[in-house]
Amino acid sequence: MISSTMSRVREAVMFFVLAILSKLVSSTRPCWRLTTTSITTIDPAGEAFAYCLSWRLAVEANNLRNWRTVPTECLPFIEAYMVCGQYNQDLNFLMDQIFVYIDGLTLSYDGLDAWILDVDDTCISNLFYYRGRRFGCDPFDPVGFKSWAMKGNCPAIPAVLRLFNKLLAGGFKVFLVTGRDAVTLGQVTINNLEQQGFVGYERLIMRTASYKGLSAVVYKSEIRKRLVGQGYRIWGNVGDQWSDLQGDFIGNRTFKIPNPMYFVP
Amino acid sequence: MISSTMSRVREAVMFFVLAILSKLVSSTRPCWRLTTTSITTIDPAGEAFAYCLSWRLAVEANNLRNWRTVPTECLPFIEAYMVCGQYNQDLNFLMDQIFVYIDGLTLSYDGLDAWILDVDDTCISNLFYYRGRRFGCDPFDPVGFKSWAMKGNCPAIPAVLRLFNKLLAGGFKVFLVTGRDAVTLGQVTINNLEQQGFVGYERLIMRTASYKGLSAVVYKSEIRKRLVGQGYRIWGNVGDQWSDLQGDFIGNRTFKIPNPMYFVP
């Protein structure tokens, strides 16, 4: 009880701090979603902007692979993209498309209509962590990330929480499939998801010892193969990494959530 | 001889007219690649711009499928994207990535190292045709498109021609695989490609009667299956449609060229 109250206080304080930070950022940094003119302030010729648009497009179209960091000159653009509204706009647009797809499906309602969601930066956000990593301009730091994840304070991505609830209401069995390590991050991930409203999913599938060292494509293909073997029909598969959406048994439709901050092979 | 001269004159006249048109367009239409501030002239709140960025991202990330037309409110943005430089910037950026990939390969030089290129809006451009279709805001018109293609005047996409020549110089067998009908568009396509500098490819593979009615994914998978059956290793596969890059035997790496103007299932 005390622990739960403490956790809520911590959460409230964190959100307050983040709200201030966000306010600071949005008043001192370029927000090209809101005022396109402001790009010219930091990039008069528009050259870096054009380059970073190309870079981001290549990432999202799966043309760029095994990249380790965001190009440093793109920091202000990726920051603006993530913080100033276009990222949320892209997510909401994508959800509209997924909703249309769902509404057009004819399900069997036999308990085997399934949907797969990735966890990190799909259900819950690591944006606050990556802000400290210069939005991906700094290389991945496994120790730092683990200590962030151990806090269990990743906020829900509201657009995906909406999708999650629509899926449950529509009779889907929702499987959350993540590369997070089951032993070290199991309980904290369950708690984090619950606190953020992800309640009612069929199963949270995490990486166990037997999948250690496998790429995300291989590991997640194996998981999906097992589900299909159990009779599930995977209608949809949503993730922020192409490695969530490639390999075997990828599902009837895949949906790529934008993520210009890091690459998981 | 006379026919060849006539064709060159026609070509010269056409390019002159297009140059003027292009000049007119670039002086009267928003070119957000060049001046980001100009977006605010046609879209003060930036709302349509944000929406159209989301729409285009969804297209390129393969999230949006079976769409028939570009949303009308996105006409100025798609036009600006295609005409004002960002499209070319995206192509050049992509070519840099492909070149890095190629330079890292170890080939066998046994005549079986293969690469696949799509034709329409990959090797040669239909941009001038689509300008007359409001950059895809008008629905696809098969009769009109055929009559455009029959002219054989599609210009090369310079970035892809560069790639083509690098592939040849690097010892690849280049296969051009297109959904164009072999009987009606065979000779004109061969001529068009040759006039535009696509000389030295291994084979141009067009849709014959036996593949009629098949989706591009199925047809192109069949073609690639045959090539792999003949011993070819498909190192790369480049197309402007996701249907070029999905299905079976897609190749070791696929590269999606941007195309916000139409969708081929």
φ/ψ of A174, rounded to 5, equals -100, 125
Edge-to-edge order in the sheet of strand A203-207: A203-207, A173-181, A113-117, A233-239, A253-256
Contact B58 A86 (CB under 8 A): no
Residues of A in contact with B51 (CB under 8 A): 89, 93
What residues contact residue A38 under an 8 Å CB cut-off, 6+ apart?
Answer: A30, A31, A32
Interface contact A49, partner B, CB < 8 A: yes
Averaged over A95-107, what is the pLDDT?
98
Residue B258 near chain A (CB below 8 Å) = yes
Q: Do B89 and A64 touch (CB under 8 A)?
A: no
Rounded to an integer, the average pLDDT of A119-133 is 98
Q: Which two tokens stand for residue B16?
A: 């002159």
Count Cβ neighbours within 10 Å for each residue of A216-253 and write b for 16 or more, e otherwise: bbebbbbbbeebbeeebbbbbbbbbbbbbbebebbbeb
Tell me: the pLDDT tens digits for B163-204?
Answer: 999 999 999 999 999 999 999 999 999 999 999 999 999 999
Report the alpha-carbon distance of residue B245 to residue B237 in Å, rounded. 7
pLDDT for the residue A49: 87
d(CA B26, CA B197): 27
B72, burial (CB in 10 Å: exposed 0-12, middle 13-18, buried 19+): exposed
Predicted confidence (pLDDT) at residue B107 exceeds the cutoff of 60: yes
Maximum distance among all Cα pairs of chain A, rounded to whole angstroms: 59
Quick: pLDDT tens for A31-63. 654 455 566 677 777 788 889 999 999 999 999
At residue A21 the predicted structure's pLDDT band, cuts being 50, 70 and 90, is very low
With contact defined as beta carbons under 8 Å apart, do B257 and B230 qualify?
Answer: no
**Res A100 pLDDT > 80:** yes
Given CB atoms, is A61 within the 8 Å cutoff of chain B? yes
Which residue from B minimizes the CA distance to A81?
B50
With cut-offs at 50, 70 and 90, classify the pLDDT of residue B1: very low
* Residues in A touching B263 (Cβ below 8 Å): none
Average pLDDT, chain B: 89
Of the partner residues B34, B46, B97, the one whose CB lies closest to the CB of residue A46: B34
Chain B: give the shortest CA distance to residue A211, in Å.
Answer: 24
- CB-closest option in B37, B49, B258 to A40: B37
Domain ranges of chain B: 2-256
B250 touching chain A per CB within 8 A:
no
How far is A16 from A10, CA to CA, in rounded Å?
10
Residue B136: is its pLDDT beyond 80? yes
Average pLDDT, chain A: 89
Amino acid at position A42, single letter: I
> Are B61 and A258 in contact (CB < 8 Å)?
yes
Question: What gap in Å lies between CA B214 and CA B210, rounded to an integer?
Answer: 9
Window 77-116 of B: residues touching A by CB (8 A cutoff) are 85-86, 89-90, 92-94, 97
pLDDT at A24: 43
Task: Kindly state whether A60 is in contact with chain B, defined as any CB-CB distance less than 8 angstroms.
Answer: yes
- Residue A261's pLDDT is what? 98
Look at strands A253-256 and B233-239 and give their pairing.
unpaired
Residues of A in contact with B33 (CB under 8 A): 46, 50
A60/chain B closest Cα distance in angstroms: 6
Count Cα neighbours of A61 within 13 Å in the Cβ-side half-sphere.
Answer: 29
pLDDT digits (tens, 9 = 90+) for A133-144: 999 999 999 999
Query: To the nearest whole angstrom, how far is the Cα of B85 from the nearest Cα of chain A?
Result: 9
The alpha carbon of residue B173 is apart from the nearest alpha carbon of chain A, in Å, by 22
In a mutational test of the A interface, the residue from B34, B63, B163 whose CB has the highest number of chain A CBs within 10 Å is: B63
B53 → closest Cβ in A40, A86, A255:
A86
| Residue A9 half-sphere exposure toward CB, CA atoms < 13 A | 6
The predicted-structure confidence for B17-52, as pLDDT tens digits, reads as follows 444 444 444 445 556 544 555 566 777 777 888 899
Q: Where are the extended beta strands (E) located within B56-147?
A: 113-117
pLDDT digits (tens, 9 = 90+) for A214-226: 999 999 999 999 9
Rounded mean pLDDT of A112-116?
Answer: 98
Please name the residues in contact with A199: beta carbons below 8 A apart, sequence gap of 6 or more: A193
C-alpha B126/C-alpha B118 separation (Å) is 13
Is the CB of residue B33 less than 8 Å from the CB of residue A51? no
Class of the B2-256 domain? alpha beta
Distance of CA B133 to the CA centre of its chain: 16
User: B57-61: long-range contacts (C-beta < 8 A, 24 or more apart)?
Assistant: B57/A57, B57/A60, B57/A90, B57/A258, B58/A90, B58/A93, B58/A94, B58/A97, B59/B259, B59/B260, B59/B263, B60/A57, B60/A60, B60/A61, B60/B256, B60/B258, B60/B260, B61/A60, B61/A61, B61/A62, B61/A256, B61/A258
Using a 10 angstrom Cβ sphere, with 0-12 exposed, 13-18 middle and 19 or more buried, the burial of residue B26 is middle
Chain B positions touching A92 (Cβ under 8 A) are 54
Query: Chain A contacts of B67, Cβ < 8 Å?
Result: none
- A1-15, A83-97, A205-219: which range is least confident on average? A1-15
Does B55 touch chain A if contact means CB atoms closer than 8 Å?
yes
Query: Is some CB atom of chain B closer than 8 A to the CB atom of A187?
Result: no
B57–A57 CB contact, under 8 Å: yes
Give chain B positions within 8 Å (CB) of A36. 32, 36-37, 39-40, 46, 49
To the nearest whole Å, the CA of B94 is away from the closest chain A CA by 7
Q: Does residue B226 have a pLDDT over 50?
A: yes
A237-241's contacts with Cβ under 8 Å and 24+ in sequence apart are A237/A115, A237/A116, A238/A98, A238/A115, A238/A116, A238/A117, A238/A118, A238/A122, A238/A160, A238/A163, A239/A116, A239/A117, A239/A118, A239/A122, A240/A118, A240/A120, A240/A121, A240/A122, A241/A118, A241/A216
Q: Which of B58, B254, B256 sits opposite A94 (nearest CB)?
A: B58
The answer on pLDDT for A92 being more than 50 is yes
Q: Output the pLDDT for position A11.
A: 55
Which tens digits make up the pLDDT trace of B52-96?
999 999 999 999 999 999 999 999 999 999 998 899 999 999 999
Q: What is the mean pLDDT of residues B210-238?
A: 97
pLDDT at A19 > cutoff 60: no
CB hemisphere CA count around A242 (13 angstroms): 18
Residue A84 has pLDDT above 90, yes or no: no
Share of chain B above pLDDT 90, in %: 80
